[in-house]
Amino acid sequence: MENEKQLIEIISQKEGELRVGSETVIREAEQIVSRSRTEAARLIQMAEEEGKAAADDEYARQMQILDGDISRMKKEGAAELEAIRREGTARLPPVAEEIISLVIG
């Protein structure tokens, strides 16, 4: 009977040690999970910031291209308008003479 009591005490002691060990492992695992979640949130935030910065850079680059295209189109339009004015002005005297000759006739 004394042996049985000792055996039960040894088993109880081992169960206590296992319980303490498992609780320690559980706490460590929970800490690892918590740190991992924090790190994942930090990485997501950093990726979002980098993505926004890259998008902002690309937007600015495209706007510069568009501004250049608009400026070029305005210059081309002004040059075309000036050419039309010159052509119209050059044709004005002969057309006026033709109209006058038709009216006087």
> What pTM was computed for the model?
0.56
82 domain residue, yes or no = no
Per-residue model confidence (pLDDT) at position 44: 97
Tell me which residue range forms the domain holding 56: 1-76
pLDDT of residue 96: 83
pLDDT digit string (tens) for 76-95? 999 999 999 999 898 888 88
With respect to residue 49, please indicate whether it lies within any of the assigned structural domains. Answer: yes
CA distances to 15, 23, 33, 39, 50 from 27, rounded to whole Å, are 18, 6, 10, 18, 34
Region 6-19: what's the mean pLDDT? 88
Q: Which of 101, 83, 81, 103 is nearest to 91 (CA)?
A: 83
Whether residue 86 is contained in a domain is answered as no
Residue 104: inside a domain, yes or no? no
| Predicted confidence (pLDDT) per residue in 41-55, tens digit | 999 999 999 999 999
Report yes or no on 105 lying in a domain. Answer: no
Residue 85, domain member (yes or no): no
User: What's the total number of domains in the chain?
Assistant: 1
Which one has a higher pLDDT value, 8 or 52?
52
Q: How far apart are CA 78 and CA 66, in angstroms?
A: 18
Has residue 97 been placed in a domain? Answer: no
DSSP annotation string for 28-89 = HHHHHHHHHHHHHHHHHHHHHHHHHHHHHHHHHHHHHHHHHHHHHHHHHHHHHHHHHHHHHH
Read off the pLDDT of each residue in 6-18 and give the average, rounded to a whole number.
87
Give the Cα separation of 9 and 23 in Å (integer). Answer: 21
The answer as to whether 84 is a domain residue is no
- Mean pLDDT, all residues of the chain: 92
